[in-house]
Structure 1
Amino acid sequence: MERTLVMIKPDGVQRNLIGKVISIFEEKGLRVVALKKVKLSKEQAKQFYVVHKERPFFESLTDYMSSGPVVAMVLEGEQAIKRVREIMGATDPKEAQEGTIRKLFAIDKEKNTVHGSDSPESAAKEIPFFFSEYELLSAE
């Protein structure tokens, strides 16, 4: 079973969408194996998004991601990374397909409600950022 990190961003938490977002993933057959609500500091947000440090949106992204609580979770399932990316939809909600989380809930390209690992390599770095091995409880 593949695992991936998903984060409900501050806009999703603030708008009380936690249960709705989780239920969409669960209805698509993915299982929650770890879950927590945290507030990232600006430095933690910079560390998490270090891959984007040279991008022009890095400062606004890390300001936003440290502006309020997030919900981090690990989802497990067959082809979890690919499936999560499809369920979330395109980064820009204007380009997201109907029925995807970002089409349903995103405010704009930055406040797009959810983050998901984009590759096995990203998942391998992002999961331990939030969770220790003993916190990952297989759903089976």
Structure 2
Amino acid sequence: MATNRTFTMIKPDAVKNGHIGAILQQINEAGFRIVALKYTKLSTEKAGEFYDVHRGRPFYDDLVSFMSSGPIVAAVLEKDNAVADFRTLIGATNPAEAAAGTIRAKYATSIGENAVHGSDSDENAAIESNFHFAGTEVFA
């Protein structure tokens, strides 16, 4: 798998608050190329599968409930050093600690409702991308 791709989701809070366009624009302006994009809604079951790595942790049930509460925008992004650069672009999980100008500093409302997801490794980027997109839905 190429190490120049990452996966993101614009979470239900940012979708509900009308930030899809602004977030996608910031992603584009940071040099990322969108190679797959989908507006969808996760069922409770699918959200649970996606976040299975967190099963058993205190925040798991709230996370699954939140992520299945409304539509999301899933995307595969391409850029050199994609995973690390995207993590920098989105900022810290806690928006109060996120650097000024980052997506979470601008659009997140709390640690739980933090506007966007970004893969934390090349391996997880591939797993997460394949979870949301068939190969025929990703365009290089």
Short-chain TM bin: over 0.9
Partner Cα separation in structure 2 for residue 56 and residue 107 of structure 1 = 20
| Paired position in structure 2 for 1:114 | 116
Q: For each residue in 1:39-97, what CA deviation from the matched residue of structure 2 results, as whole angstroms up to 9, or x when unmatched? A: 10111000000011021000000000000000000000100100110000000001100
- Compute the TM-score of the two structures, normalised by the length of structure 1: 0.97
1:35 aligns with 2:30: no
For 1:137 and 1:29, how far apart are their aligned partners in 2? 17
2:75 is matched with: 73
CA distance in 2, matches of 1:11, 1:74: 20
Question: 1:84 maps to which residue?
Answer: 86
| Count of aligned pairs between the two proteins | 138
Partner SS for 2:77: strand
CA distance in 1, matches of 2:13, 2:51: 17
For 1:37 and 1:118, how far apart are their aligned partners in 2? Answer: 22
1:38-57 aligned within 5 A: 38-57=40-59
User: TM-score under structure 2 normalisation?
Assistant: 0.97
Question: Counterparts of 1:24 and 1:118 in 2: how far apart (Å)?
Answer: 19
User: Does the residue aligned with 1:94 lie in a helix, a strand or coil?
Assistant: helix
The answer for unaligned runs of 5 or more in structure 1 is none
**Which structure 2 residue ranges, 5 or more long, are not aligned?**
none
The reply on whether 1:96 has 2:98 as its aligned counterpart is yes
Q: Partner residue of 1:11?
A: 13
Q: 2:126: which partner in 1?
A: 124
Query: Deviation above 3 Å: which 4+ runs of structure 1?
Result: none
What is the alpha-carbon distance in structure 1 between the residues aligned to residue 5 and residue 138 of structure 2? 10
